[in-house]
Copies of this chain bind each other. A is one copy, B any other.
């Protein structure tokens, strides 16, 4: 019933994360009415993502000539301290604190079951061989920088088991009352943790 380019657009866009058929349909007609310049600009923005490479060590996208991203290339970063993160943007959040001087490993979003996807297993074994070859088999510390949720806890247990032989110490981020947070509204887990880890 709809012209084929619209049908095809809806088919492809409704499979993207967070976009359903309704939103895809809306976008199709938005582009058609917005005109050729908008269409070109958007197609180009997608196309240009092809120029990015994933860092061969931490899997963060970069534009460098070599295989490594800026952080992995940086001689001043401590390669013996490795933060495992789910999302590329978690790196940005952690870098903003200016408190972390180690390197990263991006795993991608972890399943709520604690089961690892093939690509995640691949990245972990990649990390293990990096630790074996370049750190003589043991990292100083692996920080499991996962969310403080039940799923994060579950995945942290799985990952800690996997990585135990490869680090002197495996840690998670501290749990406590966030800046601006009030005791009245803190749940008992958070409050208990804040008591255990007093400043």
Distance between A72 CB and nearest chain B CB, rounded to angstroms:
14
1/0 contact string of A1-39 vs chain B (CB within 8 Å)? 111111011001100111100010111111111001001
Task: Count residues on chain A whose CB falls below 8 Å from chain B CBs.
Answer: 49
Copies of this protein in the complex:
2
Q: Is there an interface contact between B46 and A31, defined as CB atoms closer than 8 Å?
A: yes
Tell me, in angstroms, the Cα distance from A16 to B42 when the chains sit together: 10
A contact face: mostly helix, strand, loop, or mixed? helix
A199 at the interface (CB under 8 A from B): no
Given A16-B27, A17-B27, A27-B16: A61 and B49 within 8 A (CB)? Answer: no
Are A23 and B18 neighbours in the complex by a CB distance under 8 Å?
yes
* Complex interface residues of chain A between 40 and 92 (CB less than 8 A to chain B): 40-52, 54, 61-63, 87-89, 92
Interface residues of A (CB under 8 A from B): 1-6, 8-9, 12-13, 16-19, 23, 25-33, 36, 39-52, 54, 61-63, 87-89, 92, 95, 108
